A and B are shown apart, each in its own frame.
Chain A
Amino acid sequence: MADNPFADPLRFERRAPACAIVIFGANGDLTKRKLMPALYRLAYERRIPPTFAVLGNSRTAMSDEDFRAKMRESVEKFLEDSPFDAGLWESFERNLFYIAGDLQDHAMYEKLSGRLDELQQSHQTGGNVLFYLSTQPSYYAPVVDCLGAVGLNHGDGWRRVIIEKPFGHDLTTARKLNDDIHKVFAENHVYRIDHYLGKETVQNILAFRFGNGIFEPLWNRRYINHVQITAGESIGVEGRGAYYQEAGALRDMIQNHLMQVMATIGMEPSAVFEADAVRDERAKFLRSIRPMKPADVGRYAVAGQYGAARIGTEDVPGFRQESGVDPNSQTDTYAAVTFFVDNWRWAGVPFYLRSGKRLPKRITDIAIFFNSAPHSVFADGTLQDVSRPNLLIIRIQPEEGISLRFLSKQPGSGMRLRPVSMDFNYGASFGERSPTAYETLLLDAMIGDPTLYTRQDMVEASWIAVQPILDAWASTKFGFPNYAAGTWGPQASDDMLARQGHHWRVP
């Protein structure tokens, strides 16, 4: 709204311009659970204009009315932290349309083009179209190719495409996918979504680091000993066994989500808070990750797979017993990696990343371990805990916040020290509802702000970092399962840290 004489950035929330959103895979889980509730919520908060249009596509034959009924059911079911307003829905659903058809059928795209022309007139979308590829990854390139073939990649307004992860299955396929997409859409029209970057607390890392003067001087190898990033899930594969079997924890979580979080922790400050300036710094950091030599993979990366166990009163199956999973599967449901970053700021500082299914709890956090005091004046052999380093914890989910652990004197005579925690709790300081990651990211794409989207070079840099591990694991026969459901992963993961003189923090 830069040229809008009525703009009031102090009071008005950011708003999307008039546009149409085409969702491929509109009958899928992501649309039902995340996209439609996010769009409804954006409409509820008046972030999208009353005349926006959504055009859903899938193979299932449905009328506009059927699609609206289905979406209503999903929104009522999956809307988070906010009420469902039936009156608003009536207005909202009039902007929902549906077109059935096969993703590889050119005729479907011709029809789509016709519907978009109609919507441009009836809904004054200005010819702006956002294509959302919420399909199986194997369709990404064919869909983009078809869009180009019928000329939907350009029009009266802007044309952008959002692509869900995974961006390739490895470095080679990621490069091929990027090449295929770039034949139709220029890089600045491609929005690769990594919903972790849309989370409020991940964005807050930038505010914390670059909005405050006191932390940045400490944010380097002189003061930071190592960094641990944990993303644990207590659930198993929940019916996604067939998909997960092809992905695994390293591809599903570490290569994308956790490496982007790591880049947010480790990147240099950008000169300005603008999309390419921020993404340049993230990309530079990812490119600085030291590629692992094949011989080092066993030392710096650990694969795990959960076995059956009893958790509480529930018997949970092992991964190989899950529906759709090969009984001899070699898929990693747990991965832990040590990365080193070859730049002046981080030389010698290990970044430990781990992610797994069926861990004791659902948690995502970042623990920054500072070096211990160089000399402890209290270490007379009678006092406890004097060697505990300061620890900064950035909690991403489920409870967002930041804690700083430091030592304090216990009350009473004598000099007994005890670790205490200074907490910032997001919920306590900002009671207002945080937008979901999909609300933030969809709005950004409509506005044309790609700051929180990943760029081609970032994707390739993170594949380059994990590719040696994937290659080594592909030729390894693991003795799975190697950890019981409900535990913090295999012993080898603890050993990996122990070799560096560290141990995993219990989140």
Chain B
Amino acid sequence: MPAAVQPERILKDLAKLWIDLAKPDTEKNASGVIRACAMTLIVGLEQREDTQEVGLTIAELIHEHPSRAIVLRVDPSDGGTLDARVFAQCWMPFGKRQQICCEEIEISTPVSRLADVPKLMLALTVPDLPVVLWARSPRLALDSEFQQLFTLATKIIIDSARFDDQEAAYRFVKSSNDAGRNVIDLAWTRLTPLRQLVAQAFENSGQVRRVVLSYSGTGARYLETWFRKAVPQAEVITTQENQVRVVLEGAAGSVSITLEDATSATVTMNDMSRRVALPERNEQSLLREELSIVGPDPIFRRILE
């Protein structure tokens, strides 16, 4: 469904899309569809990024976070023209008779036309609902034209693990938050299950005297600062091991948490070990967690201070 790239035209196409979907003219949608929307999700990508993978991620995310998804695909080679199309993502929940549908807008633009995009977006975000901007491409996140979109966003998500220069990513996250923007790094989100195990282990370790941790990437920096802020009296030692591991040494004993693989950890308290299942930490699950928290994360802010 190609459309001239004017906000009014895109909105008309969206309205027509819903009228078409509401017609009970096929056996498939005989019971009509339910339109669901709880936010606007803007995704910033570069042309070379895996379209199918991102499409699948969005399709999965909207099941839990129904949204108007606007995928902005930027061609860094400056090829092509500014273009847009609209379509619906529908699914039939298990055992239900009605499909649930969310709308999606895909905008392609050469990098030279990126400056035209913010005004377009201004008209396309859903009124009265949060706007989450997922800057999947590191280059776009640091692009000043793309950053014009930040003013629209309630929350901005990046993943420092995708940046070649992780120090630059950290500086970007910190300076943006210092400037009052709500920017979150998925490297921090990745730590949630481990941090949760630590919180639980604390109940068995008692007052923490020493923390030994082995982790890598920007997450290591976040984790170390988190420990230093949470238990300022404790000595925090970082090591480089092959496995992700945290040891809490406290008044009541020692607890170690070792990640065995992506979905399990072993928790050892004194002499007793137990395997614990962990949620899979792929891009979808990280975003799912972030889309559940639209406001600022005070603990993340505190560790950036």
Contacts and interface: CB of A to CB of B under 8 A. Distances in A.
A46 interface: yes
Interface stretch (A7-15, A204-212, A294-302, A492-500): A7-15
B280 to A, nearest CB: 12
A383 interface: no
B192 A11 contact: yes
B96 A427 contact: yes
B275 A11 contact: no
Nearest to B196: A12
A10 B299 contact: yes
Contact of A46 (B38, B198, B276): B276
A122 B271 CA distance: 9
A50 B268 CA distance: 10
Contacts of B203: 1, 4, 17-18, 49
A428 interface: yes
B132 to A, nearest CB: 16
A380 interface: no
B93 A427 contact: yes
Interface stretch (A87-95, A268-276, A474-482): A87-95
Given A10-B298, A12-B199, A399 B277 contact: no
Nearest to B271: A122
Contact of A51 (B272, B278, B293): B272
A217 interface: no
A12 B191 CA distance: 11
B276 A91 contact: yes
Contacts of A94: 274
B277 A50 contact: no
A312 interface: no
B86 interface: no
Interface residues of A, number: 36
B274 A5 contact: no
B199 A432 contact: no
B267 interface: yes
B297 A5 contact: no
Given A88-B275, A430-B64, A124 B204 contact: yes
Given A5-B202, A423-B34, A428-B34, A44 B297 contact: no
Given A11-B192, A51-B269, A431-B64, A44 B200 contact: no
Nearest to B188: A11
Contacts of B22: none
Contacts of B230: 5-6
Nearest to A123: B272
A85 interface: yes
Interface string A1-37: 1001111101111010110000000000000000000
A425 interface: yes
A91 B274 contact: yes
B42 to A, nearest CB: 20
B244 interface: no
Interface size bracket, B side: 35 or more
A430 B36 CA distance: 10
B5 interface: no
B197 interface: yes
B199 A7 contact: yes
Contacts of B96: 399, 427
Contact of A90 (B267, B269, B275): B275
Nearest to B293: A10
A382 interface: no
A432 B64 contact: yes
A46 B277 contact: yes
Interface string A209-224: 0000000000000000
Contacts of A13: 196
A13 B289 CA distance: 12
A15 B200 contact: yes
B292 to A, nearest CB: 9
29 contacts: A1-B203, A4-B203, A5-B230, A5-B231, A6-B195, A6-B198, A6-B202, A6-B230, A8-B199, A10-B298, A10-B299, A11-B192, A11-B195, A11-B289, A12-B192, A13-B196, A17-B203, A46-B193, A46-B200, A50-B276, A85-B277, A91-B274, A123-B272, A423-B34, A425-B34, A428-B66, A428-B93, A431-B63, A431-B66
Interface of B: 34, 36, 38, 63-66, 93, 96, 100, 192-193, 195-200, 202-204, 230-231, 264, 267, 269, 272, 274-278, 289, 293, 297-299
- Which 7 pairs between the two chains have the least Cβ-Cβ distance? A50-B274, A6-B199, A431-B63, A431-B64, A5-B230, A91-B275, A428-B36
